[in-house]
A and B are shown apart, each in its own frame.
Chain A
Amino acid sequence: MDTTPLANGPNLLEVRGLTKIFGTLKACNQVDLTIAKGEIHALLGENGAGKSTLVKMLFGSLEPNAGEILWNGQQVRITSPGVAKKFGIGMVFQHFSLFEALTAAENIALSLADDTPIATIAAKARALSYSYGLPLDPESLVGDLSVGERQRIEIIRCLLQTPELIILDEPTSVLTPQEADKLFETLERLRSEGKSILYISHRLDEVRRLCDRATIMRHGKVVGHCDPRQETPASLARMMVGSDVKNAERTTAATRGEELLSICGMSRKPAGPFSTPLKNIWLSVAGGEVIGIAGVAGNGQGELFEAISGEALQDSADAIRIRGKSAGRMGISARRLLGAAFVPEERLGHGAAPRMRLSDNLLLSRHSTDGKAFVGTAGMVKSGAIQKAAQRIIEVMDVRKSAPDPEAAALSGGNLQKFIIGRELDRNPSVMVVNQPTWGVDAGAAARIRQALIELARKGSAVLVISQDLDELFEISDSIAVMHNGELSKPIPIADATLERIGLLMGGAEPGHLDHSKEVA
C-alpha cells in the first residue's frame, strides 16, 4: 500500500487503524489515511462505504472505538467539532446548516462563537470571498440565494477560521457544471497556498481532474490508494464497487406512442416563503419514452413533482391530463387509479414511513389501486396477500435486508429505493413519475433502477424522471428538459443535447427558451 505523500514535509494528518462500530456493523474498520500538506486528497466510495463516518470522526462529531489520529505528527483526540476547529480542521457539509431568514454575515457570525461585530465579519467575508473568486454579498438574505451561493457562505465560513485542512463532503452535487468549475479554481488556489483538502465525492471525472491522491473505501475498509490521474473512471468505479458496473442498456425508442401524461400551462403559487413558484409549464410525455428533467436543486423540481402527483392540486382540471383524462383537481389516489405511479425524492418520511415495516409501506401507496387484493370487507387489511406481494417485490428488485420484514428505516438508502421503485413497477403503471431516482444510492442499485425505468418505458409506459444527476439523465432519457427558477425548457432530444447546452440552461441562460408554449399547445 502506497502511503508516502507526494509533497515534501511531514504529513498533516495521519490516521491509523481507525475503527467505529455501530451495534454489529463496523462502519469503519481499521482505516488508514494520510494527508500531506498542500494536497487535494479524494475519499471515494459508494454510499454506505463509511466515508461519512470516517469524516465525522475526523471532525469530532463521532468518537472512534479504536485507532489513532496524528495531527502534525502528534497524537490527538478530537472529541468535538470545537476541538477540530482549534486544531485547524474545517468542514463544509453536503447539507448546509444555514438559517434562511438571516443574512450571510449573520450566519457566519453565529458559527464563530466570539463577540466580533457583524460589520467586521461582513467586511472580512467580503474581502476573503473576492480574493478567492467566490463573490458573495454578506448582507444578502440566505433565503434569496441560490444553492451555489449558499455553498460559498459555508466555504467562506470555513476559511475565516484559517483551517489547515478543509473537508468537503460532496460539494458539487448541487452545482451546475459552470459553478463546479468555479469551485475547482478556488480549491486549486487553496492548494497552492499550502492548505490540504479532503474531497469526498463519487463523481469520478472531477476526482481525476482535481485530486492528487485518492483513498478508496468499500464496506468500511480502505481497499486502495491511488493516483486518480493514472486511472480511468472505469478502473476507479471497479475499485469502489468491487466489480464492473454496467451502464443501463438503452435500446432506441420505439415510435412515439400515445400521449399519456400532459401538463398544459400549469402554474403554481409558492407554497411557503422559501419555495419556488411554477410558471406556465408545458410538457407532454408519450408512451414508450423517458423524458428527463434536469436542473439545479431548488429550482422548482419538488414543487413540480407535488403538482403532478396530486399532493398539490391545480386550479384547473385541464392543467394535468393522465391518459387523456383531466386530472388537475384529483387527489393522488384518483391519479393513481388512472394508472399513474409516483416516487418522491425523499425516501424516509415521504415515499415510506420510516418506522413501518416494508409490507405496511407497500400498502401505503397501493391501498387504493389494489383495494380488492389488499383490503377486504369493512376495511380489513389482508396482511397475508400484502406480505406475499412485498416478498415478490423484494425478490424481483433484489432488496437486501437483515430481517424478513424490517422497518423501512433499517434498510440502506439503495435497498429502500429499490423497494419503493419496485412497489410502483409491480403495478405496471402506464405513467411513472420519479424524482431523483438514484440520489444517494450505490452504483449497483442505481444501475438496476435505471435499467428498470428504461424497460418500463420500452413496454409502452410514459416515464418522467426528475434528476440532478446529468450523467444519469444522459444515460436513460430520450429527451431532456431543464428546469430553472420554476420554468421548464422545451425538451431537447438526446441526440442534440450536449452537457454544455444543458449546463447553460441549468444556469438560466437562453432567456428566450421559454417562448415555446404556443407551439406545443
Chain B
Amino acid sequence: MRIELVKRPERSALFAALSPFLALALTLIAGAIMFSVLGKDPVEALYYYFIDPLREVWSLHELAVKAAPLILIAVGLSICYLSNNWNIGAEGQFIVGAIVGSIFPVMFPDFQSWVVLPLMLLMGIAGGAAYGAIPAYLKVRFNTNEILTSLMLVYVAQLFLDWMVRGPWRNPAGMNFPETRTFSAAATLPEIWSASGRANWGFVFAIVAAVAVWFMLSRTLRGFEVQVLGQSPRAGKFAGFSSSKMVFFAFLLSGGLAGLAGISEVSGAIGQLRPTISPGYGFAAIIVAFLGRLNPLGIVAAGLVLALSYLGGEAAQISIGVSDKVVRAFQGMLLFFVLACDTLILYRIRFVGSSAAKTVEVTQNV
C-alpha cells in the first residue's frame, strides 16, 4: 500500500481551522511518548506541564507576562511572513529595542518624571525598527537573503548586550555582577492589577497591537497590499504596489513591535538589563505566528499556548524533575506538526492499494 497526496481543487476551510488543534493533539501524543521513554508517568507529566500552571491566579499572571512578548513579536512577524519577508531576527530586534529603550534609566537614573516611561517605550520601538531596517535595506539594495542576515544579526545583538552589561553599562554599585543598575519606579512599566500578580501593561500592548494589526490586515488597502505582494509578487507589481517599500514596511513594523516587547520585558518583568533577557521569545514567536495561522487574533491564543509551555517547563522541572530543555523539544514538535498539518489544507491523503503496482510489473515483463 502506498500513500498519496492529492491536491484539493480549493483550499479546505475545515482543515485551515482544524490544523492547529490537530497539531496540538499530535504534540501532546508525541510528548506523552517522550515522557514515558524518559521513565515518567506520561499522564502525570502532562498534567504538571499543561494543567497545573492554570490552577492559580498568580500563575495566570505569569502566563500573561510570558505571553505578552510572544504575542507582540508574533503579530509583527505575521505581517512579515504574509508579505513574504522571512524575518528570523526578531530576537535581535527584541534585544536592541531593550538596549535603546534602557538608555534613560541606565545613563540618566536621576531623570525621573512621568515622561520617562513613554520615552523609553518609543525609543524601544525605534531601536527595534532600526535594527529590523538593516536586513530590509540589505535585501532591497543588494538582494541578500533576509533569513541569513536577520538571523546573524541576532548573534550580534546578543553579544553586544553581553558586552554592554559587563562593560560600559555595568552597575557601579553592583559588586561586579554583569548587570545594569535597577530601574527607578518612574522607569518601571506598572502592573495591571498588582494585588493579585505580576502581569504588566505589556500584555495590554500585545492585545492592542493584535487587534490593530488584525484590523489593518482584514479591512484596509494596506492589508490587501501585504497579502497581494506576499501571495503573488507579480500581481502586486501589476497592481502598482512597490515590493521594496513593503520589505521596509514589514521589517520596520515587526522590528518596532519586537523592540516594544523588549523594552516592556526589561522595564516591566526584569527591571534591569542582564546578559540574557529573553528565553528565546524571538524564536518561539515564529512558532506562535504559524500556530496562530498568521492571523493576529489567532496569534493571541497561540501566544498563550506557547507561554504555557514555558511555565509548564518550569513546573515540570520542579515537580517531576525533567530537564527544562523539554520546553524546546515541545516547541520544536509543535512547529513541526503545525507545518505538517497545514499540508492537509491544500492536499488530501489517499491510500492506494498495492494491486495497481503489481499489474505494472507483470505487463512490463510481457
B363 with A77: CB separation less than 8 A = yes
B231 with A364: CB separation less than 8 A = no
Which chain B residues lie closer than 8 Å to A348 at the CB level?
232
B363 with A332: CB separation less than 8 A = no
A349 with B366: CB separation less than 8 A = no
| A314 beta carbon closer than 8 Å to chain B | no
Find A350's partner among B10, B235, B360 (CB 8 Å cutoff).
Answer: B235
A381 with B220: CB separation less than 8 A = yes
**Interface residue SS majority, chain B:** helix
A86 with B228: CB separation less than 8 A = no
Find B239's partner among A77, A354, A367, A380 (CB 8 Å cutoff).
Answer: A367
| A355 beta carbon closer than 8 Å to chain B | yes
Which chain B residues lie closer than 8 Å to A74 at the CB level?
363, 366
Measured as residues with beta carbon below 8 angstroms from the partner, the interface class of chain B is 20 to 34
| B328 beta carbon closer than 8 Å to chain A | no
| B354 beta carbon closer than 8 Å to chain A | no
A381 with B224: CB separation less than 8 A = yes
Bound form: Cα–Cα A500–B173 in Å: 94
The answer to whether A336 and B240 touch (CB under 8 A), given A354-B232, A379-B222, is yes
Bound form: Cα–Cα A348–B227 in Å: 15
Bound form: Cα–Cα A331–B357 in Å: 56
Which chain A residues lie closer than 8 Å to B221 at the CB level?
363, 367, 375, 379-381
| B364 beta carbon closer than 8 Å to chain A | yes
Bound form: Cα–Cα A177–B239 in Å: 36
Q: Which residues of chain A in 375-391 are interfacial with respect to chain B, using CB atoms and an 8 Å cutoff?
A: 375, 378-381
Bound form: Cα–Cα A9–B139 in Å: 65
| A23 beta carbon closer than 8 Å to chain B | yes
Minimum CB–CB distance for B239 against chain A, Å? 5
B235 with A331: CB separation less than 8 A = no
Bound form: Cα–Cα A344–B234 in Å: 11
A77 with B356: CB separation less than 8 A = yes
Which chain A residues lie closer than 8 Å to B231 at the CB level?
353-356
Minimum CB–CB distance for A291 against chain B, Å? 22
| B219 beta carbon closer than 8 Å to chain A | yes
| A75 beta carbon closer than 8 Å to chain B | yes
Bound form: Cα–Cα A497–B309 in Å: 75
Bound form: Cα–Cα A348–B239 in Å: 13
| B359 beta carbon closer than 8 Å to chain A | yes
Bound form: Cα–Cα A378–B223 in Å: 12
Minimum CB–CB distance for B173 against chain A, Å? 50
Q: Which residues of chain B in 343-359 are interfacial with respect to chain A, using CB atoms and an 8 Å cutoff?
A: 356-357, 359
Q: Which residues of chain A in 358-372 are interfacial with respect to chain B, using CB atoms and an 8 Å cutoff?
A: 360, 363-365, 367-368
Mask, A331-354, CB within 8 Å of B = 1, is 111001000001010101111111
| B279 beta carbon closer than 8 Å to chain A | no
Which chain B residues lie closer than 8 Å to A201 at the CB level?
none
Residue of B nearest to A22 (CB): B9
The answer to whether A364 and B237 touch (CB under 8 A), given A63-B356, A74-B366, A79-B360, is no
Measured as residues with beta carbon below 8 angstroms from the partner, the interface class of chain A is 35 or more
The answer to whether A352 and B240 touch (CB under 8 A), given A83-B364, A360-B224, A379-B222, is no
Bound form: Cα–Cα A91–B238 in Å: 35
B9 with A311: CB separation less than 8 A = no
Minimum CB–CB distance for B157 against chain A, Å? 33
Which chain A residues lie closer than 8 Å to B364 at the CB level?
83, 86
Which chain A residues lie closer than 8 Å to B239 at the CB level?
332, 364-365, 367
Bound form: Cα–Cα A74–B221 in Å: 61
Bound form: Cα–Cα A439–B248 in Å: 37
A77 with B240: CB separation less than 8 A = no
Residue of B nearest to A342 (CB): B238
| A245 beta carbon closer than 8 Å to chain B | no
B238 with A364: CB separation less than 8 A = yes
The answer to whether A311 and B237 touch (CB under 8 A), given A353-B228, A379-B220, is yes
A23 with B220: CB separation less than 8 A = no
Residue of A nearest to B237 (CB): A311
Which chain A residues lie closer than 8 Å to B238 at the CB level?
309, 311, 332, 342, 344, 350-351, 364-365
Residue of A nearest to B215 (CB): A380
Find B235's partner among A364, A368, A375 (CB 8 Å cutoff).
Answer: A364
Q: Which residues of chain B in 320-366 are interfacial with respect to chain A, using CB atoms and an 8 Å cutoff?
A: 356-357, 359-360, 363-364, 366
Which chain B residues lie closer than 8 Å to A331 at the CB level?
240
B220 with A364: CB separation less than 8 A = no
A349 with B356: CB separation less than 8 A = no
Which chain A residues lie closer than 8 Å to B224 at the CB level?
360, 363, 367, 381
Which chain B residues lie closer than 8 Å to A25 at the CB level?
9
B219 with A380: CB separation less than 8 A = yes
Minimum CB–CB distance for A313 against chain B, Å? 12
A368 with B220: CB separation less than 8 A = no
Find A349's partner among B9, B10, B235 (CB 8 Å cutoff).
Answer: B235
Residue of A nearest to B236 (CB): A353
| A407 beta carbon closer than 8 Å to chain B | yes
Q: A residues touching B (Cβ–Cβ < 8 Å)?
A: 22-23, 25, 63, 74-77, 79, 83, 86, 309, 311, 331-333, 336, 342, 344, 346, 348-356, 360, 363-365, 367-368, 375, 378-381, 406-407, 409-410
Closest 3 CB pairs of A and B: A333-B240, A379-B220, A353-B235
Interchain Cβ contacts under 8 Å between A and B, 29 examples: A22-B9, A23-B9, A25-B9, A63-B356, A75-B363, A77-B359, A77-B363, A79-B360, A83-B364, A331-B240, A332-B238, A332-B239, A336-B240, A349-B234, A349-B235, A351-B238, A354-B231, A355-B11, A355-B231, A364-B235, A364-B238, A365-B238, A365-B239, A367-B221, A375-B221, A379-B220, A406-B10, A409-B10, A410-B10
